Structures are given as C-alpha cells and as structure tokens.
Structure 1
C-alpha cells in the first residue's frame, strides 16, 4: 500500500456512508492509494451486520448516516460489542464543520477526523499517519482492549521510550491507568515530571484529575484552569473542574462549568447527564428538565439509551410544576409525558424490559401530580402487583420509578423500605433523582407535618385518648390523602370508638368511607393483612 510501504499486507476497509455518490468517489480514491478490498454499508445496521461477519483493518465512517443511528453512535455500539479489533484504524468523516459536530466526533476518539470535501492527498496523509501510529502502539492498544493494566503500563513505558513523538500520549495514558489502579500519587509524580520538561494540556488535565483523587482540590482547580488556558475547547477539563468543585461543596460553580461544557459539546451524553445530576442536586428543575429531554432525544438510537432518563425527566417535570405555583405546568404535564413516552417507546420495548409496567408507573405519577391521588395510587400498586410479595425481585428501573411515585403519593415509609433495596451501584441519575425528591422543599414540608401528626395520633391512641387520636389521624390523612398507614390507623381508632358507641352513625359512615379508599388496591402483604383484619372487624357493625 503506497500510504505506508510496498511491503504492507492487503488491508480491508469498511466504508459506511448513506450516499452512493460518496461510495463511488471514495472507491476511486482508495484504489489510487492501494486499497482494493472494500466493503460498503449505507446504514449503521448494515455496517453492524458486516462487522459481525468479519473484521476490518480500516473503518471509514460518516458521522451523518440519515435517520437512526449516526456515525458516532455506530462507533460506540461496535466498540461496546468488541467488533473493532485493537489493530484497526477508525476514521470519522463529516460535512458539518460546526464546533459542536467536531467536538462530538473527537469525543468518540477516532484515530482521525476528516472534513468533507477532502483531497486524495489529504486522505492519503491522514491515513498514513493513523496507520503508522496504530502499528507503533499496537501492544498498547491490545493491552487496553484486554483491560490488562499491568501489560498496559509496561507497553506505555516501552512505547514512550521507543517512539518519542508519541511520548506525551503514552505518559498520559500511563497516568490514567495508575489512577484507575488506585495509585494517584504515582500518577501525580509522573505527570509533574512530564510537565517540568514541557507544558501540555493533556498532562495538565491528567494532573488535575490526580490531584482531585488525592483530595488536593485547590491544586486540581489550578491545573485544570491552566489546561483550559492552553486549550479552551477541552470539554473534559470542564467536567473535571466540576467534579473538583462538587467535592468542595461548590455546586453552583460545578453547574456553571458543566453548562459551559455542554454549550461547547451539546452531543455529549456524559456531560449532559452530569449537568442533569448537578441541576437536580441544586433544585434547578428548569435546567434539569431541559437537559433530560435533550438526553432522551440524543440517546434514542444509542447504547446509552436507558429508561432512567425518561423516569428522571417525568420526576423533574413534576418537581418543577409543584414548585412553580403555576397551574399551567401541572395541566401540561400529561401532554409532555405522553410526548416523551412516544419518543422512547420503540427503543424500550424489548424482551428483557417490562415496558407496559414502566409506562403504567409513569402515568401513575402523572395522575398523582395532577391531584388524582387515588387513581394514581391504584395504577401505581397495580403496576407492581407481580412483585408486591417479593419487591427485591423487581427490576431496578421499575423499582426506582415506584420509589419516586410513592414519595409523590405520600407513602413515605413504604418508599423508604423499597429504596433500601436499590443497590449501591445503581444508576447514579436514578439515585440523584430520588434524593432530590426526598429533599425537595415541598415534599419535605408535607412529610414533616404528616409525621408529626401521625406520631401524635399514635401516642394519643396508646394513651387511650381516642377522640384526640382520631383528630390527629384525620389531619394527617388530609395532608397526605393517599397514605395507607394513616388510613389504617384512622380506621383502627374509629373501630375502637364504635366498640364504645355502636350506634354512632357518624363514626360508622366515616369508617366505611375510609375503608373504601383502600378497596381494590393490591397493597403490600403487611398492609393487606392489616386491612383484611380491619374489614372483618368492621363487618360486625354492619
């Protein structure tokens, strides 16, 4: 091949582009540079099928592939499925020269990025550069693919010595590996040596990360700002800055850094996700809902697709509406949720995900937010009826949605018992959303008053002051009309009062009405058993 040497093996290339005219043009260009084993694909799905059958030495992928997955999403999918061998060169091409597009393509870490139109000479030189680098560093990339950190560190050391032109890349990768192995102090020492010889934005970024891991947050911030002075468009530095600010409790500064990063690279799933999490932590629901809606659209066709984005979006809409004191936002909630559900429905329907139950949980939360508490409660419990006996077997996505719905509903004790079942490594966005809901001002105020009234009611009941207990439970239920515990407590007090005054029609009617609030709802086993016994006791007064 004339791009490297006459002794090169025959290289196989996969060209992915939706336009036939580009295929024809590239075929002529590739033949001129000595590549004649060419496979063509017009879509991401067609490319994936080809990659499942054989591997290639060069992947030439257009960013814009029309409807469905784009080139970046295809590349992420192929890497996720380990369909690209470590020896292969990846080149992304695009006709969009916008900053957002360029940064998005670069974030996918191809070996080369080319803007259309490009000449044969440009292509030849870029390909030669990429192939030469990939071959020189092949042991490094193979160790990286195997996730063999010991071999990777050794390969980085050898390559840095043997190929000085790639030394900075090797040393930074070496430092990243040391940090991943829990050796940030050693990484910091290595990077300071590198920077003593020559300032470098990648080394500054890595040093900032190492200092952050060591708890040296002021030093981390200093290095990261220096990195951005060298390379203002390095979005990863903004993300690292945000993490350092968060560690210092400076959430406003962290959010500002992430907003800047997302404005530079709006197609970055990682940056948008972190911005949504920080916005939720700060109670900035307006920002969080906009970012989450963008995430839903951005990940529809990617490996990053998850029901947590939709669940978090619905909860953020709800919190935004509840805190806005504007009836318009509550009234518009159903329309917004239906729109979001329709966008993701096809992507979420699969054999290993119970989409109908998920959708029912989402709709239940909308009903609760709109004030239809009993309707929403029935929908919520019915969506979970298959797991009420064994909630620990509930799929995590459904469990998280249920916890959020229960907090909305005012079923605080039940929500906490289910929340305890979420594993520590569960999706961080989900746990952030739950935490934001628990600490939301309107939810906290309602919960604190409910708990005070419920505790007063229990104390009065235990002291035999039934009328006083009834008053407290009535008020607790007025504050949280769908709380099962308050309803059961109130029924129990009414039955005690009926035992003393069997002919009191007011107590009889109130007891019947309160019991009806729980009829037809598949309660959890403990609640269901208590409800059954209270119904039996009430039957004698009929």
Structure 2
C-alpha cells in the first residue's frame, strides 16, 4: 500500500441526495477504494461511525432536516468517534463567510466547495493521506493516550524535515500545553515565530504564558495574533479566557461579542456571550445571544437546558427594565417553554425548573394571576423537591415582582443559610440582594464607592458620575450606589455645568429609587433630601437652557 493509497481505507460518504452519494462513491472506487459506505443524514452518519471506524468521512454541510454536516463533526469529536488519524472533509455548495467560519471552529481536515471534480478530489485526498502517513506514529500514540510518546514522535518528524513538519510543530505545542509543560511549549512556539509570524503560534505562545501565570504577556500575545489576523477565532477565545482570569468581565464580553459578529453560527460562543452579558446585567444582549443559542442548539450535542432557561430569564430581566424591547421575544419565549420537556425530558426536576422560570417571566411581564398560581403550586412542592440554586433565585425574583414581600424575605433567608460559606453560590445570590453577601462583591462595592466618593469630594463630578454609573450597572439593586449616583448627577447639574442627558439620567435614577425605597427604608430620608435637590437642580438647569 502506498502512503496515498485508497485500497485499504474505510470511507463514509454523507449526503441527503442519492445522486451525489452515488457520484462520489463512484469516484472513490475509481481511485481504488474498496470499502465505501453511505449515510443519508446526520443521524445515520453518527450511527454508522459508532458501529464502524472510518479512515475518511466525506460529509455535505446541508443534510436536510436534522443535523448539519458541522453538527455531525461536532458530535463525532465530542463522542470521540474519530481516531486522531481519521480525516473529516466537509463539502458544501455554499461558501458564505458565516458557514465557513462556523465549520472551521471544529477543524475539519478540509473544506471543499461544490462542484467537485474527480481530479481535484483525488489530489486533495492523496495529499491528506500522505500527511497522515507521515504523522502515523504520532496519531497512534495519541490514540493510546500516550502523550509523552506522541511528543517524542512529533520531535522525530520535526527533526526529519518532513513535509508534515509544520503540522507536527503545531501538534507538539498543543501536546506540551496539554501536559502543562509550559516552558517547553513556549520554546517551540518561539522557534516557529523566528521563521514566520503565524497566528496559531502567537496564540500558542499566549497560552504558554497563561499557563506560566504571566497574564500581561499572555494578553499581549493574544492581541498580537488578532492584530495579524482579525479572523483567527482561537485568538478571541484565548483572549476572553485571559480577561476572565483577570476579572475583567466587561472586556471579556466585548471580546466574545466581536467573535460572534465575525462567526455568528458558533453555538458555544453565543452561549458564552449570553452568560457574560447576563452576568454583566446587559439584558438586551443576553436575550439576543441566548435566543441565537436556542436556535443553533437544535440537533447539536452542545445544546443545554440551562441555556434555554437563561433565555427566558434574560427576557424577564429585559421586560423589567425595558418592556417594549422585550415584547418582540414573547413568541420565542412561549415556544421555548412549550418545547422544553420534549428537548430535555419531563422528569420532576426538569418540570420544576421550567415552571419556575416561566413563573418568574410571567411575573415580570404582567401576567400576575398566572405567575401567582404557579408560585403557589411551586411553594407547595418545595418541601418534597430538591431544586438547584438558579430555580430558588427564580422564586425570589417572582415573589418580589408579585409584591409577596414576606415570602421573598423568607426565601432570601433560606438561600443565604443554605449556601453560607459557599463563595461562588453567594456571588450568584448577590444578583437578587440589595447588599452583596459574597466577600468578592462586598469588596468590589467598597472599592467603587471609594473611587466615586473621592472624585465627588474633588469636585470631579464627571468622574464620579462615570464611576457610579458603572457600579450601578454592576450592582443594579444596591440602593447606596444608586443614591450616590443620584447625588453625583445633582452635583454635576448644579456645580459642574451638567447636560440634558445627565438630567434625564438623574430623573431615571430617582424614578427607580422611588420604587425600591419604601418610607420605612433606612435610606428614605436621604432619598427625600436628594429628590428636593434634584427638583431645584432641574429648575436651575432649565432656567439656563431658556
């Protein structure tokens, strides 16, 4: 058998059109292939790969109803149904940027555009087979999970100046990172970069620096890769990880948003963007990202029930802050809730989860009778059902929206008691609290208050407004921060020459506080004083305008 021979290769052709399957099968047989199987759709393809081990899968992108070719590749990689030496070639009649970018995320060995000629197909496959032949010892070691053996084989291929040398270098870097040999990985990537500025090597070096704990250098190298190639998606992913590790969630959100703009069909990035935006209280972006995630998740092995629930939660939050913006999503929410059990099962926990999220959504959108009835039923079940923290938070939000203060306070007390000392859980609970319970967020509130107050005391009202505005978005239920923001806005309007936007913002803050601060609230007197000053400031500002 020659390295590029077809004789002993097991090949699977996947396409929903019989004529195309027949044409490609005939071509492969003319090339010398003896074993060529066919699958008519994505489900059939995955099933065949579970039953047999193939050396080559030729799969069309558009497979009709069910999984796409990209989702077939996702599933095969996820379930480890392809050996390291197996080839997956994606074929498509379309060449749109979004499809190509989404496909490349899961690294097919080649992407071919129809129409396909026998000559081009044979040349492309023979080139891939030759590369696999030169890499065979590496792949054999990887299939046996012998990482050190694979590393040694990579070094051997690199030392022979083989045509597979660039691939072996790339794989060596990945294996060294995987085995946490970060210094050795850095050396490999720097050697590559001495010859050429390759984006994958720059990202690899960033990953090595990240592993060494050098966050500044890691971020610089990831950004350098993006400067060289704005379309290199792994650079966005790594930069986002680095920003997350450096506790810069807003920058992390911006990075993933840029990646999603380039590659909108990436399910996992849409999911990540939705969660980042939700955590950052950007309800509009979270809703849109989670909506895309729900749509893209159909037939994907990366579809998750928590993403569907987060879509509904985001819509509920958007409805509370901007009802008009939330209205266009009502039909999508109804469909998501209706389809939930069919997609994820109808066990008791799943039913409780979806009903709890629905209850919170109905309460936020004014369907109070439906929400109240659901909440009552859920409370009756609460003693017999073991639910997770997100569901309990849904109950708290629903109770607050329905004005059931006693139930709300009891539920808050229960979760704080249940998760006492669990810092990660407390950070999630902070979302429904006026004052944070987690150490991290208490320190953060103290820090931003200190920064904002320092600006205010120096009569830097613009700086104080900017600081408290950011803090109010980060902690939207924190009364103290909202009051400080209102005071800073009034200071700017009366002494700093404010503008109409600041007057509008001040009125908006005062309106929110009127709802949140009852007459019995400890901060009620301060709010009363600030409202009086705001009235004077508004009159003074309007007098200047006239």
* TM-score normalised per structure 2: 0.71
Q: Where do residues 350-369 of structure 1 align in structure 2 (5 Å cutoff)?
A: 354-369=349-364
Q: Do structure 1's residue 133 and structure 2's residue 135 form an aligned pair?
A: no
Structure-2 change in CA distance of 1:3 and 1:22 (3 Å): farther
Using the TM superposition, give the Cα deviation of residue 220 of structure 1 relative to its aligned residue in structure 2, in angstroms: 2.5
Q: Which residue of 1 aligns with 2:67?
A: 69
Choose from 384, 400, 403 the match for 2:393: 403
Q: Where do residues 87-102 of structure 1 align in structure 2 (5 Å cutoff)?
A: 87-102=85-100
Instruction: Give the secondary structure class of the aligned counterpart of 2:57.
Output: strand
Q: Which residue of 2 aligns with 1:414?
A: 414
Choose from 345, 370, 383 the match for 1:388: 383
Using the TM superposition, give the Cα deviation of residue 252 of structure 1 relative to its aligned residue in structure 2, in angstroms: 3.9
Q: Where do residues 144-183 of structure 1 align in structure 2 (5 Å cutoff)?
A: 144-162=142-160, 164-183=162-181
Structure-2 change in CA distance of 1:83 and 1:331 (3 Å): closer
Using the TM superposition, give the Cα deviation of residue 376 of structure 1 relative to its aligned residue in structure 2, in angstroms: 3.6
Structure-2 change in CA distance of 1:236 and 1:67 (3 Å): same
Structure-2 change in CA distance of 1:3 and 1:354 (3 Å): same
RMSD between aligned residues: 3.5
Q: Which residue of 1 aligns with 2:337?
A: 341
Using the TM superposition, give the Cα deviation of residue 245 of structure 1 relative to its aligned residue in structure 2, in angstroms: 3.4
Q: Which residue of 2 aligns with 1:468?
A: none
Choose from 119, 122, 127 the match for 2:120: 122
Q: Which residue of 2 aligns with 1:35?
A: 33
* TM-score normalised per structure 1: 0.71
Structure 1 window deviating more from structure 2 (93-102 vs 167-176): it is 167-176
Structure 2 CA distance for aligned equivalents of residues 479 and 301 of structure 1: 43
**Unaligned regions of 5+ residues in structure 1, if any?**
450-477, 482-542
**Unaligned regions of 5+ residues in structure 2, if any?**
400-407, 437-473, 484-514, 519-546
Instruction: Give the secondary structure class of the aligned counterpart of 1:255.
Output: helix
Using the TM superposition, give the Cα deviation of residue 101 of structure 1 relative to its aligned residue in structure 2, in angstroms: 1.0
Deviations 1:494-517 (A, max 9, x none): xxxxxxxxxxxxxxxxxxxxxxxx
Does the Cα contact within 8 Å between 1:3 and 1:127 map onto a contact in 2?
Answer: no
Structure-2 change in CA distance of 1:417 and 1:372 (3 Å): farther
Q: Which residue of 2 aligns with 1:244?
A: 242
Structure-2 change in CA distance of 1:365 and 1:195 (3 Å): same
Structure 2 CA distance for aligned equivalents of residues 3 and 157 of structure 1: 21
Deviations 1:117-158 (A, max 9, x none): 121111111111222222322333344345443333233223
Structure-2 change in CA distance of 1:188 and 1:292 (3 Å): same
Structure-2 change in CA distance of 1:180 and 1:111 (3 Å): same
Structure-2 change in CA distance of 1:86 and 1:236 (3 Å): closer
Does the Cα contact within 8 Å between 2:349 and 2:385 map onto a contact in 1?
Answer: no
Instruction: Give the secondary structure class of the aligned counterpart of 1:415.
Output: helix
Structure-2 change in CA distance of 1:180 and 1:434 (3 Å): farther
